[in-house]
Amino acid sequence: MRQLVILAVVFAFIAAAPAIITSEFTQNVIIMVLYAALLGQAWNILGGYGGQFSFGHAAYFGTGAYTVAVLQVQLGVNPWIGLVIGALFSMAVAAFIGFATFRYGLRGSYFALVTLAFAEVLRILSNSVGFTGAGVGILIPLAPGAANMQFETKTGFFFLIWVLTLSSFLVVWWIGHSRFGASLAAVRDNEDAARALGVNAFRVKMGAIMLSGLFSGLAGIFYAQYFLYLDPYIAYGPAISVESLLVPIIGGMGTLFGPLLGAAALHVVSEATRELIGDVPGISLALYGALLVVMVMFMPRGLAGLLARLGVRRRAASGEMPRA
């Protein structure tokens, strides 16, 4: 319950940002932090809580993004309806990949490489078919209005991503306090032992990958409506998969607030680098790689682990007994 109260306070504080901050640049940074937190939390469900490291979350992101864009441009479907359909399609792709991998017991690096391969296959397909715009990409027509999920100010986009991100955090809080979450943690720690205790590992991992695909798809849908343009490299390229896993690794895998901490740190460093160096092609991926090496070597539990250690030291220094 304490975590839920903190979560409510943090997101209530974030919700007050548009009333306090008038700079569109700063509002955009906050929006992108929430977007990255959603993307990272989606990966965290499968990788952090489930121990199934995916290198291909772009498969779910791109499916959600392309679904809402194609339905809107080619068939005239309202994007709010497209949001539901895109989320379901992303879950379906996740279910297919999960069945194809978990059914045959793929784990570790084998699972990671297969997910990467699926994302690359979808990138090649989207680069070849006409209804996605092929290599040229797809441009969503500008039609400002809340009914078209194209808000006239950034405040509308802010509250859309706020709701989507909050929903992912609430689901992760539920995972951490549910029987499903306990089973998922057991599979992560020792799948063979979990099976011996009666845990249906296949079913648990399928549930995790479908939830992960759902929220990755929602992140893709938001991206499509926010930027109004997609191409195969944006939707299914490695940058999305790298950002998905980097955010929780920096913030703290398997923790509720890790993705939010990681997203904030990542975008603060990214914006600072852009101001100092400029918009150099490839600098983001180089920066992400350097951060990943630093975190794995010096802070394997991420920023959340660092804050937890500092809290323990503070309580020890004040003479307070640690809680059981």
Give the separation between CA 266 and CA 246, rounded to whole angstroms.
9
Classified as helix, coil or strand, 278 is coil
Q: Which of 9, 37, 16 is nearest to 256 (CA)?
A: 37
Which residue type sits at 157? Answer: F
φ, ψ for residue 72, nearest 5 deg: -70, -45
pLDDT recorded at residue 278:
66
pLDDT recorded at residue 322:
47
**Each residue's pLDDT expressed in tens, for the chain with a length of 324 residues:** 788 999 999 999 999 999 998 888 889 999 999 999 999 999 999 999 999 999 999 999 999 999 999 999 999 999 999 999 999 999 999 999 999 999 988 888 899 999 999 999 999 999 998 888 888 899 999 989 999 999 988 999 999 999 999 999 999 999 999 999 999 999 999 999 999 999 999 999 999 999 999 999 999 999 999 999 999 999 999 889 988 999 999 999 999 999 999 999 888 877 777 767 766 666 766 777 777 788 778 787 888 877 777 765 666 666 554 443
pLDDT recorded at residue 312:
56
C-alpha distances (whole Å) from 67 to each of 33, 74, 193, 208 are 24, 10, 40, 22
Classified as helix, coil or strand, 256 is coil
Give the separation between CA 154 and CA 305, rounded to whole angstroms.
33
Q: Which of 126, 60, 59 is nearest to 90 (CA)?
A: 60
pLDDT recorded at residue 89:
97
| Strand spans (E) along 107-221 | 138-139
Classified as helix, coil or strand, 78 is coil
pLDDT recorded at residue 319:
58
pLDDT recorded at residue 135:
83
pLDDT recorded at residue 321:
45
Q: How many CB atoms lie within 10 A of CB 31?
A: 22
Question: What are the tokens at 114?
Answer: 């297969």
C-alpha distances (whole Å) from 82 to each of 175, 204, 209, 211 are 27, 28, 21, 18
Give the separation between CA 208 and CA 217, rounded to whole angstroms.
14
- pTM, two decimals, is 0.91
HSE (CB half, 13 Å, CA atoms) of 244? 32
Give the separation between CA 46 and CA 16, rounded to whole angstroms.
31
